[in-house]
Amino acid sequence: MFERVVIVGASAAGLTTAEQLRRRGYDGTLTLIGDEPHRPYDRPPLSKQVLAGTWEPEKVLLRNEAALAELDAELLLGHAAVELDAAGRKVVLADGRAVGYDALVIATGVSPRRLPGADLAGVHVLRTLDDALALRAALLDRPKVVVVGAGFLGAEAAAVARGMGLDVTVVDPLQAPLQRQLGERIGALVARMHRDHGVGMLLGTGVSRFVEAAGRVVGLELADGSTIDADLVLVAVGAAPATGWLTGSGLSLDNGVDCDSFCHAGSDIYAAGDVASWQNPHFGVRMRLEHRMNATEQGIAVAGNLLGDNQAFAPVPYFWTDQFDTKIQAYGIFPTGSDIQIVSGDPGERRFVAAYGWNGTVTGVLGWNSPREVRTLRQLVADRVAWSTLSIPSAVSALAAC
């Protein structure tokens, strides 16, 4: 049994790991290190309610003071970890302090990717609470907005900005928003939804450079040679695992912190949340997920394995996105090149569930304004139902009803 557990990363995954350790009876010392000064907070509302101004910023805090005190942990907030000495079993912080451990959990998440030449006034990224508040304040000046990148974050932020009545354009080199995550067919529906709400969609062309005047962004030049005006640019081109501080630690860092199916990265070091890649035995593939739900589930799994559960982490992932009045929810994985079939509802009525098949098995179900149906049809993924079975509609409803 370990007596000193140190968790680096004080967001959803790190906090969940800490809480689950205590819930399960761990009574050794616990240290939670976070690079932001804020108490642990939740990120999904940042690009939704916080950006829209419908929630006060305090509402994103994951726990109140009393709950954090109950955790009986040393909270080192506003302290970035800068080095891991795995042989000496210690984490070095930016102020030079070394924190020793018996077991280490890495939950440092991801950092937004940036674009060259984007270091200008008026250019934003969105990852932290401070980012969200700065972007919200800037949107209140009613700028002409360009969102670079049509992934979940870009699409959600574009929807919020458009909901504020702003002139919004989304630019992405791919042919459809969310294409990388959900494929072309669903991506086309997302594009139509945005266009129906008045968002300009410049798809199939990337950004070649930022146009500036006196240090402030005034537009973008696109790969096709055209230019568009912008008072504000949100760069939402994905994020990279925050593993810079682990360079030289000896850990494998090909895709975040590379773990085995037990979320173990080596030498009593585990990883959880956005930063961790691991072999998911349910699908037989290595994955790294930047989903809110995974942060919780993986934190719980890591706490269990620290306490000797010796259980592989084999979840059916869940994620969602809210854009305008549409709720998209998904269970499973959605590899590029998957087959896709509508198994419930009708896309024309903006209410349906699509199943995704990959290597002959149902690997994902996606609900469009269909929360109950997609939750029920999740069973197709959990049971690894054969894709060929879906050609018989009655069999689908029977399976989903199981």
Partner 1 sequence: MRVTIDTERCIAAGQCVLSAPDVFDQSEDDGMVVLLNPSPPDELVADVKQAAALCPALAIMVEG
Q: Which is nearer to partner 1, 2 or 320 (CB)?
A: 320
Verify binding: residue 375, partner 1, rule CB under 8 A.
Answer: yes
Verify binding: residue 17, partner 1, rule CB under 8 A.
Answer: no
59 near 49, Cβ under 8 Å?
Answer: yes
Rounded CA separation 229/184 (Å):
28
Listed ranges 112-120, 230-238, 250-258, 291-299: which one lies at the site for partner 1 (CB under 8 A)? 291-299
Report the length, in residues, of the chain. Answer: 402
Q: Which of 82, 222, 293, 312 binds partner 1 (CB under 8 A)?
A: 293
Q: Which is nearer to partner 1, 79 or 292 (CB)?
A: 292
- Secondary structure E strands in 188-338: 200-203, 207-213, 216-222, 227-229, 232-235, 239-241, 257-258, 264-266, 269-271, 276-280, 285-288, 318-323, 326-332
Q: Which is nearer to partner 1, 188 or 293 (CB)?
A: 293
Rounded CA separation 106/8 (Å):
5
Q: Name every residue whose Cβ is closer than 8 Å to that of residue 228 and which is 6 or more positions away in sequence.
A: 146, 169, 171, 202, 219, 220, 222
Verify binding: residue 322, partner 1, rule CB under 8 A.
Answer: yes
Min CB(317)–partner 1 separation in Å: 12
Verify binding: residue 20, partner 1, rule CB under 8 A.
Answer: yes
Rounded CA separation 33/77 (Å):
6
Rounded CA separation 116/237 (Å):
12
Listed ranges 29-37, 122-130, 220-228, 319-327: which one lies at the site for partner 1 (CB under 8 A)? 319-327
Q: Which of 14, 34, 44, 317 binds partner 1 (CB under 8 A)?
A: 44
Listed ranges 12-20, 99-107, 176-184, 279-287: which one lies at the site for partner 1 (CB under 8 A)? 12-20
Min CB(342)–partner 1 separation in Å: 19
Helix (H) or strand (E) holding 146: strand 145-148
Rounded CA separation 269/275 (Å):
13
Extract the tokens encoding 102: 């018996």
Per the DSSP assignment, residues forming a β-bridge with 320 are: 329
Q: Which of 262, 318, 356, 368 binds partner 1 (CB under 8 A)?
A: 318
| AA letter at 121 | A
Q: Which of 11, 16, 17, 108 binds partner 1 (CB under 8 A)?
A: 16
Min CB(84)–partner 1 separation in Å: 28
| Number of residues located near partner 1, criterion CB under 8 A | 22
Q: Which is nearer to partner 1, 235 or 374 (CB)?
A: 374
Residues that bind partner 1 (CB under 8 A): 16, 19-20, 42, 44, 62, 292-293, 296-297, 300, 318, 320, 322, 327, 329, 370-372, 374-375, 378
